Amino acid sequence: MKSNLLLNYITWTVDKDLFTIPVLDHPIRWYGLFWLFGILLAYKVLVSMFRKDGKPIEFLDQLTIYIITGTIIGARLGHVLFYDPSYYIANPLKIITLWEGGLASHGGGIGILIAIYLFGRKHQLPFLWLADRIALVIPLAGACIRLGNLMNSEMIGTPTHLPWAFVFTHVDHIPRHPAQLYEALFCMLLFLILNRLWMKSIFRNAHGNYFALLLILLFSFRFLDEFLKINQEHFEESLFINMGQLLSIPFIVIGGIVLFLNYSKKLKVHLH
């Protein structure tokens, strides 16, 4: 009877390994490919943007290295510090075992902000000028990463009987919300919205508006989407909101502060 009921839902049986390299016996995983694809797509969009700004491609290449490094280090340390610090204190060498999994998107976001700050200081560029441009491609890369999570059958959702429920057979046989797919689709929509606003020169009156909109919209959706995800760690069961929601709040607040300050400056100019 259970198998007949499951036929009404989307059965997800995708193997996280795309193929294994002969001789080396090393798997190539969908997740890594989606990460790479996201970086390449974001880079392609930024190339066009930086050319219009009169910046050399070598400049973008350096910025890309900064951001990739910041993302990986930040995401890993975010997982270590936010989700299981006691384990990694007891096993410090495990911190560098990235291939075993464990990346936190909020930590990656912090890493990106630090990378932008360091790069801007080195090249004497305003932080918010850089942040606006990176904000336009973050959702594109984020969508690819969440699709990678889908291929890995991770970050799965809570049980549901909605007709588009996924049954992640590598996890269990319970129909669940495809929470990672919800976030991927939202990121794609956010990418289109922000770039449309950019092309129309809307909100370009001050540096930081696009960056602020990204933080508010992306992390507000992340906060809501977390209600449809199972908790990643046991300690989250005792929290009123889970760690993903808790970490989203500062990003939303920062976005609101940037918009408020920009609006206040614009209002003062009009009053004078």
Q: Which of 136-145, 223-232, 256-265 has the highest mean pLDDT?
A: 136-145
DSSP 3-state assignment of 116? Answer: helix
- Output the CA angle 56-59-65, nearest 5 degrees: 145
Residue pLDDT, tens place only, 28-68: 889 999 999 999 999 999 999 999 888 888 889 999 999 99
**Pairing mode, if any, of strands 166-168 and 17-21?**
unpaired
| Domains of the chain by residue range | 2-271
d(CA 160, CA 166): 9
Instruction: Report if pTM > 0.85.
Output: yes
With CA atoms as reference, report the closest residue to 71 among 36, 29, 45.
Answer: 36
DSSP 3-state assignment of 17? Answer: strand
Q: How confident is the model at residue 75, as a pLDDT?
A: 92
Across 99-113, 121-135, 184-198, 248-262, least confident range = 99-113
Q: How confident is the model at residue 47, as a pLDDT?
A: 94
